[in-house]
Chain A
Amino acid sequence: MARRSGGLPRLREDLSRLRGAFQAPLRRFSTQNDPYWDDFINRPPNDIRNMIPEIIGKAPEGNVFPTQAELHSPDVTAKHVKELSTYLGAKLVGIADLGKQKAEIARGYPYAIVSGVRAEYDPYTSPGVGGQAAVQAGQFVTFIVASWIREMGFRASMKIDVPREEREHLAVAAGLGKLDGDGRLTAPRYGTKVHIADIIFTDLPMQADG
């Protein structure tokens, strides 16, 4: 990854979250006093074509490039996949070895790239445009990473419909976090405020995380 300028990115992120507590409470415009915010998060869309997750979700997948690109060793390739995902906005990325999973989970692929984006609102319970923003952010990451792998000449699919339980199971297998009492993923830095984006099933040779 390129050298980060202007201080440690994670420290900056934490400080910016703390900064909100020191602002003058009266002047501050927040989601609390926004009369339209609840509709933004929770109102189901009137026309589904106004939703980005719907547009990207229905997009067909492109071809695999006929010539395979020259590859690095599997650990370096895994590093590059994680670097690209983080660059595009993922907060957590891990690679699960599907050889250790059941055949119905593996679906004929050797590896799964699991990425998580920060989600203030749970997309499974907030159907509004704002509630689905995490899905949109996740699709942005997974679409480009999957396209890049296909352009390198390897199979990659993000269009396989994976239920939530299975996503979280794969996230644990990829080392993103642990399951809590309710069976939900808890990640070290973000707690439960993480949305597991579409899983990328691929045969790009990589080193899996434990």
Chain B
Amino acid sequence: MMWRSVFLHEFPDGRIRSLQALAGKATPASLAMTPEVDAELGRYVLAVSGDQVFDYGLDRPLQAIVGLSVRARLHFPYRRSSRVPVVRVGPAFELALQPEPMPNDAPSRATAVLRVAGANPVGLGTVVDYRRPHARYVDLRVDWHSSGQARLLVDGRLAGYQHSVAVGLSLGVDRIVLGGRPEFAGPPGARFMLSRVMVRALSERDSLGPLVKGLPDIPADDPRLARCRKRVQAELGTTLMQLRQLMARFHASTSQPWTSQGPGDGPFQAVAREAHEAALKAGLALGRTLSDPEYPFDELLAALRDFLVLVRGVLPVEFKALADAQSASQGLSQDCRELLERAIGADPGFERLSKLMRAIHELIMDVAGGH
């Protein structure tokens, strides 16, 4: 699993401390809160409001976060017009609910609103429509990635999509806050109930984990390797940024903002769906290829080719420019290379990964060349 868990509270008992999270501390006021039993649900829930928030600070704040996935099971009976924060993840990411104003205070809809890094809040889609039959508790999920995509799922169904939210940004995460003061003063006692909250995060390079597993160790204390590492990290960061920008342009070209109210042709063009499927197929094939030392490369290479051809078809100029820039890239300097080769020696896992990487590089160049 590439996305790391940050926070999970399912209120399994009447103790506010019964949560799972990265190491950290809740504020004393938060620890004074007590989950209560929702008789109809038959489970513990936490009531939060503007004056009663649960605030959990991480001992070691996360840096360079390029993806966040927030889920909440909540009962939101609050129907006035102020925007109510539901979950804040660090200073730059806030998921809120915005009840829609009705002239006579009659029940209307509540919309999920996402704010990332000071940009204008984006309405993602309807979470509860009070005018229609609805369950008391809804499962709300918002996934954001710095390639710009933000998805809203309600009870497992896509309810909203945006393709250009905070493109290219990476965030810091120092705390998780449940609840918060409404944008404008809410009515006294306005509160909503949380039955479950989960936050996952993806740092810029978390997805490297599976590639590294099983490779030989190298001496950690060699200062020459420390210099190599610094240079490589910078170059990888730049390349990842370029690739994510490319994917952001791909998403912007092949999808459109959408909510369950429309547009009627849905958020994704066929090419976007096909690229997504090819990427998933490639990811699964990569898993098998790395897990099994005898698994052939063909399945992975075929899925990657499908994916790359689709991206090149939409962005031919940008794709070629990226490939050309990278073919001129140095990667490791000669002295770093020699140091590492000496440290690693002959290692079958490394040899196989090298062979796979060379095959994928040839594939990229082949596709960039129009084949």
**Do A and B interact?**
no
